[in-house]
Amino acid sequence: MDLTQETFLRVSEHASPDKANKVTYARSYLYRVAHNLAIDHVRAQKRNPIAGAKDIPLDVIPNNSPSPEQIVGGQSELEYVRRALDELPDKTREIFTLVRIEGLTYREAAEQLGISDSSVQKHVARAIAHVMKRMRESRS
- Please state the pTM of the whole predicted model: 0.51
Domain boundaries, the chain: 3-60, 68-139
pLDDT the model gives residue 37: 87
DSSP 101-113: IS---HHHHHHHH
CATH number of 68-139: 1.10.10.10
101 close to 109: Cβ distance less than 8 angstroms: no
pLDDT the model gives residue 89: 95
pLDDT the model gives residue 18: 62
78 close to 138: Cβ distance less than 8 angstroms: no
pLDDT the model gives residue 77: 84
Q: What are the average pLDDT values for consecutive 10-residue runs of the chain, which has 140 residues? A: 79 66 73 88 79 67 85 86 92 93 93 94 94 84
pLDDT the model gives residue 122: 95
Using alpha carbons only, give the angle 21, 26, 28 rounded to the nearest 5 degrees.
115
